[in-house]
């Protein structure tokens, strides 16, 4: 069974008590509605006829008992509707509350299926697609409610003549079967296209939002507006198609309902030896209307089920393995970048070198399990990061070349590395990154907002804040990708001097990518890279820092 389907079914079992309550309440709604409409039709017609018959008949007619039942049924229907909505939506919301974190965890893992998603499209998966899944919970009661409503409605319609009950059952069957066919052939594909179009719209908006400085600098506001309008028009067009096809479905339902009402009232008058009394004809007509209304509930469920299945098809590739599975974690801290290469023990300082585009960043991200690599190419803590159910990321504190910051405060961004870190450790990390003086000079200190993506900071400040965040994570290896890029010479010297002091103090290992001469002296060994793919490094050579690069098999330490 696919992982998403298994998760939904498990959650349906978990929410069974609430779903049972919702189902019983839904049966109360359909049965109460059918009885209410049928009795009301009979009562109104009978009362009118009694009034027309004269004062004596009108005085003898029992108005109190039917009106009391009508009030009781109205209360039952209203109360049942309330219980159904509360119980059904509570079950759905709790189910979605368990599903969204699972999907987000999968997105955070960065698997093959998730890396291809743009930010906006990933947002669409977590919001619109998951919301569509709630139909599986809310509509569980629909078949039971339909069955109960049809049974009660058919029973009342049969009081006029058996042909009225047959007309109702045939009409309801045609409505459900025809609606299912229309939903599968017409509505479901349109719902899938609309969800896809919304995802593309969000993705394009996100891309353009990130590029706002460039758009302004190059006076491309008009072009950007046209781009937004183009994808918005596509989303609107997909929405119109879905609305039109949903309208066709409901038009079909209305036509079948009208024919069923005509048959339920006309057949008794045509086929019965003696025409049924007018109150019973009214009862049959309104009972048929109630029964078809119950069937319309199932039609709505079928329409929404198409969108739910389309959403599930898009979500399924993101599910991955069970998050509660047993995961192997490293017991040591050694690193090996190639099968025949040396092993670097904790505390080593290694520089990754090579021309631009050779794959230096790819190599270190493969080691950390952030990019795919074929098994057997490298080792981290005695484990192969390419294997499933292996978690080697706790070995590394990573400051990437492309700085990513949250729209929050300095403290919030730092505490991504250690959510429980006290302020003293935050200031220590900022000091080691040569950023403490700048933050201390701000009026709000650690609570200083940095804006979306760090927009309120300079490029160098953003890089140093990312470096401080890596310092805060006490992992055996500090992985720095161009940590002084964009810094002036004085600040670069401060950062590197404090980095060396920190490494001496903490005995952390260092893996650093740097083209700048000032950072080269920190490292004891160098790995020359010339091409990296998912199969691993196509050319990899290791040597001591400052020495000619060549093969080396000895273990490298302090």
List, for residues 284-293, the tens digit of each pLDDT value: 888 888 888 8
pLDDT for residue 426: 94
pLDDT for residue 415: 92
Q: Say what the pTM is.
A: 0.66
The residues pairing with 510 across neighbouring beta strands, listed in sequence order, are 349, 478
Alpha-carbon span 526 to 467, nearest angstrom: 21
pLDDT for residue 548: 37
- Measured on CA atoms in the order 69, 70, 75, 80, is the torsion positive or negative? positive
pLDDT for residue 62: 79
Task: Tell me the H-state helices in 272-358.
Answer: 278-319
Residue 312 CA, chain-centre distance (Å), reads 11
Tens-digit pLDDT profile for residues 24-35 = 998 998 888 888
Q: Is 320 left (phi over 0), alpha (psi -120 to 50) or beta?
A: left
For tokens 């005995």, what's the residue?
507
pLDDT for residue 551: 31
Alpha-carbon span 344 to 558, nearest angstrom: 9
Alpha-carbon span 160 to 500, nearest angstrom: 94
**Which long-range contacts does 266-269 make (Cβ < 8 Å, 24+ apart)?**
267/161, 267/163, 267/164, 267/166, 267/167, 268/160, 268/161, 268/163, 268/164
The percentage of residues in the chain with a pLDDT greater than 90, rounded to a whole number, is 21
pLDDT for residue 399: 92
Name the nearest CA neighbour of 418 among 479, 471, 373, 367. Answer: 471
Residue 347 Cα distances to 335, 469, 500, angstroms: 11, 19, 12
pLDDT for residue 275: 80
Please, which residues have CB within 8 angstroms of residue 109's CB and are 6 or more apart in sequence? 320
**H/E run at residue 512:** strand 509-513
- Segments of the chain scoring below 70 in pLDDT: 1, 106-124, 302-303, 305-307, 318-326, 531, 533-558
pLDDT for residue 433: 93
pLDDT for residue 209: 80
């Amino acid at each position: 069974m696919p992982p998403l389907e298994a998760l939904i079914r498990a959650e349906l079992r978990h929410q069974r008590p609430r779903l049972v309550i919702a189902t019983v309440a839904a049966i109360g709604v359909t049965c109460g509605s059918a009885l209410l409409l049928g009795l009301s039709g009979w009562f109104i017609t009978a009362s009118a006829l009694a009034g027309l018959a004269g004062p004596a008949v009108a005085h003898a007619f029992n108005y109190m008992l039917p009106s009391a039942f009508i009030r009781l049924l109205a209360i039952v229907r209203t109360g049942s509707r309330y219980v159904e909505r509360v119980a059904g939506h509570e079950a759905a919301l709790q189910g979605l509350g368990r599903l969204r974190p699972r999907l987000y965890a999968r997105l955070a893992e960065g698997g093959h299926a998730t890396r291809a998603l743009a930010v906006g499209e990933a947002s669409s998966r977590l919001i619109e697609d998951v919301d569509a899944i709630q139909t599986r919970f809310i509509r569980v009661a629909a078949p039971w409610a339909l069955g109960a409503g049809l049974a009660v409605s058919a029973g009342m319609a049969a009081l006029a003549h058996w042909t009225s009950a047959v007309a109702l059952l045939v009409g309801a069957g045609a409505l459900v079967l025809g609606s299912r066919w229309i939903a599968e052939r017409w509505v479901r594909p349109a719902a899938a296209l609309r969800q896809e179009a919304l995802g593309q719209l969000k993705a394009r908006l996100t891309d353009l939002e990130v590029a706002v400085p460039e758009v302004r600098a190059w006076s491309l506001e008009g072009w950007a507006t046209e781009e937004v309008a183009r994808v918005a028009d596509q989303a609107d067009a997909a929405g119109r198609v879905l609305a039109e096809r949903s309208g066709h479905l409901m038009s079909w339902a209305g036509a079948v309902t009208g024919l069923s009402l005509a048959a339920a009232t006309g057949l008794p008058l045509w086929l019965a030896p003696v025409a049924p009394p007018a109150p019973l004809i009214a009862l049959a007509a309104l009972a048929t209307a109630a029964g078809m209304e119950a069937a319309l509930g199932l039609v709505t469920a079928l329409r929404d089920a198409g969108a739910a299945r389309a959403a599930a098809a898009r979500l399924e590739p993101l599910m991955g393995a069970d998050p509660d599975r047993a995961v192997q974690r490293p017991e040591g801290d050694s690193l090996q970048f190639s099968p025949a290469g040396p092993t670097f023990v904790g505390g080593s300082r290694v520089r990754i070198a090579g021309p631009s585009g050779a794959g230096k960043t790819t190599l270190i991200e493969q080691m950390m399990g952030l990019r795919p690599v074929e098994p057997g190419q490298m080792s981290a803590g005695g484990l192969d990061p390419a294997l499933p159910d292996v978690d080697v990321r706790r070995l590394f504190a990573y400051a990437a070349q492309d700085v990513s910051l949250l729209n929050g405060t300095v403290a919030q961004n730092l505490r991504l590395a250690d959510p429980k870190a006290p302020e003293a450790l935050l200031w220590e990390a900022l000091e080691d990154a040569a950023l403490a003086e700048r933050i201390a000079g701000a009026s709000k200190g650690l609570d200083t907002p940095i804006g979306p993506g760090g927009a309120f900071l300079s490029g160098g400040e953003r890089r140093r804040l990312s470096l401080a965040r890596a310092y805060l994570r006490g992992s055996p290896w500090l992985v720095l990708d161009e940590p002084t890029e964009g810094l002036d010479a004085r600040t670069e010297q401060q950062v590197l001097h404090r980095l060396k002091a920190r490494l001496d103090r903490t005995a952390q290992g260092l893996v650093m990518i740097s083209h700048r001469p000032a950072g080269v002296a920190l490292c004891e060994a160098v790995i020359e890279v010339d091409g990296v793919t998912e199969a691993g490094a196509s050319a990899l050579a290791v040597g001591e820092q400052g020495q000619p690069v060549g093969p080396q098999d000895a273990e490298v330490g302090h």
